[in-house]
A and B are shown apart, each in its own frame.
Chain A
Amino acid sequence: MDSNDPIENSVDDEPAAVAESDVVYRHRWPTRLWHWTNALSVFVMLMSGLMIFNAHPRLYWGQYGANADYAWLEIGGQGDRGTLRVVDITIPTTGVLGRWKNSDGQLQARAFPYWATIPSQYNLAGARIWHFLFAWFLVIPGLLFWMASFLNRHFRRDLKPKKSELKPAHIWDDIKDHARLKFPTGQAARDYNILQKISYIAVIFVLLPLIVLAGLTMSPGMDAAWPWLLDIFGGRQSARSIHFILAMMLLGFIIVHLVMVVLAGPINEVRSMITGRYRLPEDK
């Protein structure tokens, strides 16, 4: 074997003396493949989902909910002013939500603007086609990734927090490090830190499964076959609200995730998710 191969060196137990050994094999191929299929699927699901929301930009709690019923969230407006109302709080959102100008400069009275939706022009039937096609690309690779990561022990080895990491003091230290944008270097950067582990576990085991189940609960066919779906979420309109809230949480995760990638060194991070190879940041 070529001793310059970074993978070979990283597998060795030799101390990290040579420069090449600072490059470690960090992500196995099932992780990398799923990361990118999932990134594409989530991107399409979020944007086509916003277009579906545009067809009825009101959210309710319970089994039923329509125009005459109380909506806890509503995107709308009056005249040329757009608003977002959450319960009793109304926020002016002109230009972004409720009232915005399309690429031709014409005022539009839809909830989410053209640059946030698929398709970009109002089209509920088209958005549903995108949403239900990519739902398969979300669910099938997701299930395969789950299986692969249990089998190759990715979950146990890389995501499962160690007991010592779960101590409140350790978590607090990690929060402070993140707030100061102080990232681990050297060998400490080999493993995910505790905030990473918690957020990845939350997305993989809670957020994504729940968003799929809440989505299925909106299907009248599924509700007949699996009525327990309605019991989990407390009704179809509650499921629609929860589906939307979870989608916004997923968007929040993506934004923080991307900011972290940029702050931690985007080229190294993106390369590691493409080739698997990650250069450990130098000790300062």
Chain B
Amino acid sequence: MIERISRRKLLGSIGLGAGGLMLAGCDKVGRTAAFGSAQMSAQDLTMSVQRLFLDRRALAPEYDRSEMSPTFRTNGNAMPGSAAYKAHLSSNFADWRLVVDGLVARPLALSLDQIRRLPARTQITRHDCVEGWSAIGQWTGVPLKLLLGAAGLSRAARYIVFHCADDFGGTPYYESIDLVDAYHPQTILAWGMNGQPLPVGHGAPLRLRVERQLGYKQAKYVMRVEAVDSLARIAGGKGGYWEDVAAYQWYAGI
């Protein structure tokens, strides 16, 4: 028994030491280039497996009115700070235009009224924040594929970039999706929420809903939709604000 206890103590201290080393090690490993590329491969693998083995046109679950969140919290920016946005807000977005440009045959500049008169889709879906919480709300808006069709998307286009009116410390928010998601029937630019005009806290006058991805992909205060062949030349080159500043995954289907 005496031998056992001393052996146990020995093992315990070895365990603690190893644990400490591993902890410090994980932080160090996490910063190495090799680990960085392993992470990127894992991210690509996750996206490839989802794209290859799962139905690309599968619809996100839609919910009943009775299943909606009583309170749908806001997140990220709840009020863009720019003077231009404040001017739009005070004039009720009368002079606001959504620009659709980039690799398109016919660039568009649409007023909010014009967008509201286009065919609309209403869906009650679940919004999943990367932090872990979920809220269910109703969204009404124009399917993105209608706008891309009207603008005549070029064959060279690979990604759709959403430029936003809000910023973090002067860096404008932006996001991007590929054409699989851009042409998905539930991918809409929403101007209505829960039967009301889209509130400022949720991205007035227009926000993206890309229902099979996490919250940070759902760009709010969308001002410009740009079709591009590569994300490399946009801001930090990783396809989105959080992707650029904090290494969040560009593919946020998981």
Q: Which of B39, B59, B70, B128 contacts A218 (CB 8 A)?
A: B128
In the complex, B176 has a CB within 8 A of chain A = no
Total interface residues on B, CB under 8 Å, equals: 51
Q: Is A234 an interface residue (CB 8 A)?
A: no
A129 to B251, CA, bound (A): 12
With A120-B27, A124-B131 already in contact, the answer to whether A223 and B42 are too (CB < 8 A) is no
The reply to whether B214 and A240 contact each other, CB–CB distance below 8 Å, is no
Indicate if A67 sits at the interface (CB-CB under 8 A): yes
- Distance between A87 CB and nearest chain B CB, rounded to angstroms: 19
Least CB distance, B207 to chain A, in whole angstroms:
16
CB of B33 within 8 Å of the partner chain: no
Residues of B within 8 A of A136 (CB): 42, 45
Determine if A27 is an interface residue (Cβ-Cβ < 8 Å).
Answer: no
Which of the four size classes fits the interface of chain A?
35 or more
User: A65 near B: Cβ within 8 Å?
Assistant: yes
Which residues does chain B contribute within 8 Å of A220, judged by CB atoms?
A: 60, 126, 128, 211-214, 252-254
Whether A115 is near chain B, meaning CB under 8 Å from some CB there, is yes
- Tell me if A221 and B254 are in contact (CB < 8 A): yes
Chain A residues with CB below 8 A from B45, complex form = 136
* Contacting residues, chain B, for A67 (C-beta < 8 A): 73, 133
Q: In the complex, what distance in Å separates the CA atom of A261 from the CA atom of B89? A: 66
B186 — nearest CB in chain A belongs to which residue?
Answer: A224
Per a CB cutoff under 8 Å, which of A56, A119, A221, A226 touches B27? A119
Q: In the complex, which residues of chain B have a beta carbon less than 8 angstroms from the beta carbon of A247?
A: none
Q: Is A186 an interface residue (CB 8 A)?
A: no
- Partner of B30 from the list A52, A55, A130 (CB cut-off 8 Å) is A130
- What is the CA–CA distance of A223 and B63 in the complex, to the nearest angstrom? 13
Inter-subunit contact A129/B135 (CB<8 Å): no
Whether B132 and A53, one on each chain, are in contact in the complex, defined by CB atoms closer than 8 angstroms, is yes
Question: Which residues from chain A contact B58 at a C-beta distance below 8 Å?
Answer: 224-225
Known: A66-B73, A129-B247. A224 touches B126 (CB 8 A): no
- In contact, B59 and A224 (Cβ under 8 angstroms): yes
Of chain A, the residue at the smallest CB distance from B10 is: A266
A63 touches B134 (CB 8 A): yes
Interface contact A262-B73, CB-CB below 8 Å:
no
Q: Are A68 and B70 in contact (CB under 8 A)?
A: yes
Contact bitstring B35-64, A, C-beta under 8 A = 1, else 0: 000110011011000100011001111010
CB pair A225–B55 under 8 Å, yes or no, is yes
- Whether A84 sits at the interface, judged by CB under 8 Å, is no
Q: In B104-136, which residues have CB < 8 Å from any A CB?
A: 126, 128-136
Shortest C-beta distance, B33 to chain A (Å), equals 14
**Minimal Cβ-Cβ distance residue in B for A71:** B133
Interface residue A252 (Cβ < 8 Å from any Cβ of B): no
Q: A118-B26, A224-B212 are in contact. Are A64 and B69 (CB under 8 A)?
A: yes
Residues of B within 8 A of A130 (CB): 26, 30, 39
Contact A56 B253 (CB under 8 A): no
Is there contact, CB below 8 Å, between B42 and A133? yes
Q: Are A56 and B60 in contact (CB under 8 A)?
A: no
Please tell me if B8 contacts chain A, counting CB pairs below 8 Å. Answer: yes
* Binary contact track A231-273/B, C-beta < 8 Å → 1, others 0: 0000011001000000000000000000000110011000000
1/0 contact string of B214-254 vs chain A (CB within 8 Å): 10000000000000000000000000001000111100111
Given contacts A118-B30, A129-B247, A230-B61, 9 further A-B contacts (CB under 8 A): A55-B131, A55-B132, A63-B134, A64-B69, A125-B246, A129-B39, A129-B43, A132-B46, A220-B211
A residues with CB within 8 A of B: 43-44, 47, 52-53, 55-56, 58, 60, 63-69, 115, 118-121, 124-126, 128-130, 132-133, 136, 218-227, 230, 236-237, 240, 262-263, 266-267
What would be 22 A-B contacts, judged by CB atoms less than 8 Å apart? A43-B22, A56-B132, A64-B134, A64-B136, A68-B70, A69-B71, A120-B23, A120-B26, A125-B248, A130-B26, A130-B39, A132-B43, A132-B254, A220-B253, A220-B254, A222-B50, A224-B61, A225-B58, A227-B61, A236-B126, A262-B7, A266-B7
